[in-house]
Structure 1
Amino acid sequence: MVTFKSSISMFTGIVLVVMATFMFCLGTFAWWQNKEQLAVLIGSFVMYALGGIFVWMLVDTKYTFTTNCLFYSNGPIRGKIAIDTIRKIKHQKGWINESFLKPALGMNGLYIYYNKFDDIYISPEDKEAFVNYLLKINPKIEII
């Protein structure tokens, strides 16, 4: 198995860290204010869980190849794509994204078009090595 970590844009990294910190602080503040009420304890737990999801996304966004599949993970978002179904790859720079599924933390990434109508946006740190590895497995992929 070969794994490529996601690049992380400064903006995305800052937003995730701020949101996680905010959730942890909010949960702690609510818990300190009223430790006896069940609703406050549940609310604090939810805030901690959301903060944990933001941290999970920050540290566990990666793309892993097996012999015939590309697995992607972005915190709780996980999936796989059969490499032989990939039709084309397009380089993308900037904030505008046309894909609904974005297990990525970087602004400059790749669109992978697979099956007949499916696409995904990813942002591996080493895009060139990622594409070259993918082309070794499936040389029919069109690069745009």
Structure 2
Amino acid sequence: MSQISTKLLVRFSNDFAHLLESEYDHNVIVKVGQQSFKLHSLVLYLRSSFFRQELATATKKNNIIEITLTDTSVEVFKILINLNLASWLKLKFAKVYSTSFQDNNFKALQIFCTNILAKHPDIILASDEFTSIQENALINLLFTN
């Protein structure tokens, strides 16, 4: 990838990150525990097969879609939402992937990361943190590809 296209990708990722952080013109409220997150259905739909399914079956109230997640903690949800930040994810992918194997509650995160690695194994293989990845995460990577 050329230096110009890399810069454009970083800028696009940053613009995308601002959209995730902005409540302006949101049309989805995701309730997790006692917190509510105001998000954009287009972003959720494009970035997550889980939310694609949720949005397909959700009902609208006053043009706002409400989704309640009961099996997810606020901390895990914040991590999942931040995974949409491509630049951040690329920098921290090995750590995120390894961390996803530390707790069974992160199964969705494991699947998400594994799907990315199936297409782009160099993200983790070329990482400086490759030697610190948990054994079970590496085994999963080997048997997935």
TM over 0.5: no
- Greater RCO, CA 8 A, separation 6+: 1
Q: Which has the higher helix share?
A: 2
Q: TM-score, normalised by structure 2?
A: 0.28
Structure number with bigger Rg? 1
Q: TM-score, normalised by structure 1?
A: 0.28
